[in-house]
Amino acid sequence: MINSINSSSASFMSQQSSQAAKLTTEQSDFVKETLAEFDAENLTEENTQSIQAAFKEQGIEPTKELADLMSELEFDAKSIGDAGRVEGQRPPPPPQNSLESVDTDEVVSYLDELLTEYSSQLSDEDKESILASVQEKFGLSEGDSLLNVTA
């Protein structure tokens, strides 16, 4: 039964993460076509600026998915991103998934879906697995409370 919970929660989590800025098929194709015009081993500053401008024009944001695709094509996304940055300028900080940024309605909805589907079949081990899944999904550490009780 725990496998069915995990597969159900994985399915729900993939639906949630697919709502994030994900590359479309057209954008992926555009990245491939654009990078095919360049030699990954001999990029100039002008090349990196051209790549950045082309991606920006197509609304392609720097994401892990983009970096992975570029890596598959033997390009280093970090070095291309760094090349276009003004000297001394820091890259933007990665998004924080802290308790303050968690949408409690989303957490409650996620828990409700899981509990509705499996409430009559849950053992203590299953409940712990669900809690761990929720903590992982929302970037909470083991000691974090799922509820904010401050007024």
Instruction: Give tens-digit pLDDT for 57-87.
Output: 998 888 889 999 999 999 988 888 877 665 5
Asked if residues 38 and 55 have their Cβ atoms less than 8 Å apart, the reply is: no
Query: pLDDT under 50 in the chain at which residues?
Result: 1-20, 98
State how far the Cα of 21 lies from the Cα of 61, in Å rounded to an integer. Answer: 8
CA-only gyration radius of the chain, Å: 21
Give the per-residue pLDDT at 51.
92
Is 0.75 topped by the overall pTM? no
Asked if residues 16 and 137 have their Cβ atoms less than 8 Å apart, the reply is: yes
Give the per-residue pLDDT at 18.
39
Give the per-residue pLDDT at 32.
94
State how far the Cα of 145 lies from the Cα of 67, in Å rounded to an integer. Answer: 33
- Return the percentage of the chain with pLDDT > 70, whole number: 67
State how far the Cα of 31 lies from the Cα of 7, in Å rounded to an integer. Answer: 32
Give the per-residue pLDDT at 63.
87
State how far the Cα of 28 lies from the Cα of 71, in Å rounded to an integer. Answer: 13
